[in-house]
Amino acid sequence: MELTGAEILVRCLKDEGVEYVFGYPGGAVLHIYDALYRQEEVKHILVRHEQGATHAADGYARSTGRPGVVLVTSGPGATNAITGIATAHMDSIPMVVITGQVKTTAIGSDAFQEVDSVGITRPCVKHNFLVKDVKDLATTIKKAFYLATTGRPGPVVVDVPKDVTAQRTEYSYPQEVSIRSYNPVLKGHPGQIRKAVDLMLTAKKPMLYTGGGVILSGAQDALTEMTRMLGFPITQTLMGLGAYPATDPQSLGMLGMHGTYEANMAMHHCDVLVAIGARFDDRVVGEVKYFCPEAQIIHIDIDPSSISKSVKVHVPIVGDVNHVVKDMIRLIKEDKRRPDPVAPMQRLTQWWDQINAWRSVNCLKYDRNSALIKPQYVLETLYRLTEGEAYVTSDVGQHQMWAAQFYKFDKPLRWINSGGLGTMGFGLPAAMGVQLAHPDATVACVTGEASIQMCIQELSTCRQYGLPIKVINLNNRYMGMVRQWQEFFYEGRYAMSYMDALPDFVKLAESYGHVGMCIEKPADVEPALREALKLKDRLVFMDFITDQTENVYPMIAQGKGHHEMHLSPDRELA
Amino acid sequence: MRHIISILLENEAGALSRVAGLFSARGYNIESLTVAATEDPSLSRMTLVTRGSEEVVEQITKQLNKLVDVVKLLDLTEGPHIEREMMLIKLRATGEAREELKRLVDIFRAHIIDVTASTYIVELTGAGSKLDAFIQAVEANSIVETVRSGVSGIARGEKSLHL
Ligand SMILES: Cc1cc2nc3c(=O)[nH]c(=O)nc-3n(C[C@H](O)[C@H](O)[C@H](O)COP(=O)(O)OP(=O)(O)OC[C@H]3O[C@@H](n4cnc5c(N)ncnc54)[C@H](O)[C@@H]3O)c2cc1C
Ligand SMILES: Cc1ncc(C[n+]2csc(CCOP(=O)(O)OP(=O)(O)O)c2C)c(N)n1
Ligand SMILES: [Mg+2]
């Protein structure tokens, strides 16, 4: 039977196993909306702004490992989606974005709601397509999902002109596609893996530095097995949190600009560094010339262009983390130099003594007797009350760093934040995607009074679909992260970082049909959180009025090395 | 260092702009770029001349390889290769200069391919440096216009870039 392009598109989504499409209608996609209306399998979530659709699909993807799907109209629909596409691109998140386009005969004529979507999105997608013939539609959609989810994942845009959605053709969804120019390597080179294992087994001060690639690869079990077998210390990037249990004694927490003292010091002093699915971002590396001065560096990454991009590595291994780490485990097991299975850390006693000395500095210490609510305390309490089991999304700023420091993630796919692009406005819509994917889970959105206002309209979407997200607004009346830099580097000239004319968040939440709470005293933090977590079927917007002057520590200033951390104003290290 | 990178590219709309966009977005320089379809109509062949340190050129080739439309590439400068560029140059040719220019054309093994009472068009093929030398050799104010094709390159011997 012949179907219209619109029907084919929807059938493709269904055959691809898509549960939710996040979108917003408009002229160019009306045939597609009509086709969606006439079926039930693929559910459509109507957001309030296309940016919200992209972040929601992104949150869905980050918390499930399955691709997020977005549908927006041409012109402004497509341009509104750009921020979310770029956000997913920077963090390598699988996503398929279908943009409507003016009819093929009108393309290039400055038609109503025409933008060159393929051109505009080109620099921030893994790949994109313009479908000019309905006969190519199903194959193109298949290719889009294939590209988005394999190799180094990323967003793929498919631009579909309106007339293509009206044309008819036979439908069949390809079981498989291959693209001759695209063949991601999964298995690592055996010689390189052997070389790496040799270095690892003879290291005196080894260090594992792991990132988002472990989570994208689904390699948490293999990584955990290898780390325990080796008895090595392990640190994770902001994107890698959860791939190894944060509460495990071998975990040193996050590294980098706002990482822990012990993680950064261990980086600086290690003799063998094993980087796994991490991309040597400048927030992690700091000043390149001071980076790991004594280390032989091994780097496992599926994307050759991530290797030796900013830091030259000695043993590059191109491949999928899960494959390579499993191969490493096999080699380690066969090796005479394998650490004692009962006490693997013993061989490295001196190194661990040194690390524990750094640890004893207790770098995340904060004032627990303050009369003002400390943001760290709110997050520590959230962690305790949810027993580390919540899904936590975050916006961008100080609150994001505190969430990363104080919520200990023992499992992957639970920490959902915009690391690479640092997109304010990400947290709330991302939480919608997470909550839809995990209807019974506790989903907390940690945000700030500035960030939350960038996608606040999504409170309406949450109401429509009954999403019981817990919004933790750490309200310091400042763009705190900006204020912190102005305090440190601009002699306290707080240009435009004070958040004036804030709304009454309680009333605002209530007007959207949610529960609002304002918490002003430290003693009220725990009871309020308890009460909110009990409201299982309601969105609760918790406005915590926090200490305005609190800064994120520790910190490595720009241009400094890992050994030059700044602990806090009253605690400097020798 | 100057590198000549040969690329087999899907012959599809937008493929060229992906390559060009990559260079501008990442701040790599392009000295010249030529592209045309090959004997296999589904493929285009591009020759791209760029300059950069070894690290930068390594990133350039990795980033190019990452583009889905790039099927295969070869850095010709890594081995023996031939590089050619074609130039058409229109020269003011009157009076004594007409004979003088003809001699120069012979020395450079170029051809005069169009003649009017006052102009010649000369076609010249060779390495970029030969084309530069010809431009140097003719009187500057006799040049009316020049058009250069950009470099095309191919590896010598058995080594080749094909599917
Ligand atoms: C305000 C702010 C402060 C920040 N401070 C810090 C900080 O202190 N510390 C910190 O760590 N970050 C910080 N970041 C985040 C930082 O900007 C980067 O986003 C982050 O460090 C990158 O993490 P990653 O190296 O794990 O790479 P990701 O962006 O997660 O990239 C993953 C890597 O793994 C590879 N990969 C993907 N799939 C696979 C696979 N299957 N197999 C093998 N490899 C694969 C990819 O090719 C890529 O190289 C901050 C961000 C913000 C907004
Ligand atoms: C869309 C966007 N615009 C600007 C920035 C720059 N920026 C980073 S953090 C920040 C302040 C965030 O303030 P708030 O949400 O209140 O969080 P806080 O730092 O106070 O916890 C700004 C403006 C950004 N990351 N994203
Ligand atoms: Mg704030």
Q: Which amino acid is at A207?
A: M
Quote the ipTM score. 0.95
Strand ranges inside A302-438, DSSP E = 315-318, 391-394, 415-416
Q: What is the DSSP code string of A317-329?
A: EES-HHHHHHHHH
pLDDT, position A146: 98
How many alpha carbons fall within 13 Å on the CB side of residue A32? 33
Concerning whether A481 is annotated as a catalytic residue, the answer is yes
Q: Can you list the pairs that A557-560 forms with residues at least 24 positions away whose Cβ atoms lie under 8 Å?
A: A557/A488, A557/A489, A558/A286, A558/A287, A559/A286, A559/A287, A560/A286, A560/A287, A560/A290
Whether residue A539 has its Cβ less than 6 Å from ligand 2: no
Concerning whether A254 is annotated as a catalytic residue, the answer is no
In sequence order, the 6+-apart residues with CB closer than 8 A to the CB of A483 are A494, A497, A498
Q: Cis peptide before A245, with omega less than 30 degrees from 0?
A: no
Concerning whether A564 is annotated as a catalytic residue, the answer is no
Strand ranges inside A476-554, DSSP E = 515-519, 540-545
Nearest CA to ligand 2 atom 1: A424
pLDDT, position A574: 41
Whether residue A423 has its Cβ less than 6 Å from ligand 1: no
Task: Please report, for chain A, the start and end positions of each structural domain, with discontinuous segments joined by +.
Answer: 2-170, 190-359, 375-545
For residue B50, give the 3-state DSSP assignment.
Answer: strand
Tens-place pLDDT, residues B84-117: 999 999 999 999 999 999 999 999 999 999 999 9
Contact B14 A127 (CB under 8 A): no
Q: Could you tell me how far CA A50 lies from the centroid of its own chain?
A: 19
Tokens in use for A373?
């609510």
Tens-place pLDDT, residues A69-111: 999 999 999 999 999 999 999 999 999 999 999 999 999 999 9
pLDDT, position A573: 55
List the single residue in B21, B25, B71 with the smallest CB-CB distance to A181.
B71
- Cα R_g (chain B), whole angstroms: 19
Residues of chain A with pLDDT under 50: 574
* Domain spanning A2-170: CATH 3.40.50.970: yes
Interface probe with A: pick from B10, B61, B62, B64, most Cβ of A within 10 Å: B62
Quote the pTM value: 0.98
Tens-place pLDDT, residues A356-381: 999 999 999 999 999 999 999 999 99
Say which residue the tokens 């241009």 belong to: A559
The helix (run of H) or strand (run of E) holding residue B143 is: strand B143-148
Pairing of strands A43-46, A20-23: parallel
pLDDT, position B125: 98
B32-37, strands of its sheet edge to edge: B32-37, B43-51, B2-10, B70-75
List the single residue in B55, B58, B68 with the smallest CB-CB distance to A181.
B68
Torsion over CA of A342, A344, A346 and A347, rounded to 10 degrees? 130
Which fold is adopted by the domain A375-545? Rossmann fold (3.40.50)
B163 touches chain A (CB under 8 A): yes
Common-topology check for domains A2-170 and A375-545? yes
Dihedral sign, Cα of residue A85, residue A287, residue A397, residue A401: positive
Mean pLDDT, all residues of chain B: 97
Question: What is the architecture, at CATH level 2, of domain A190-359?
Answer: 3-Layer(aba) Sandwich (3.40)
Contact B68 A118 (CB under 8 A): no
Contact B17 A119 (CB under 8 A): yes
Tens-place pLDDT, residues A337-352: 999 999 999 999 999 9
Tokens in use for B99?
């004979």
Tokens in use for B7?
């690329």
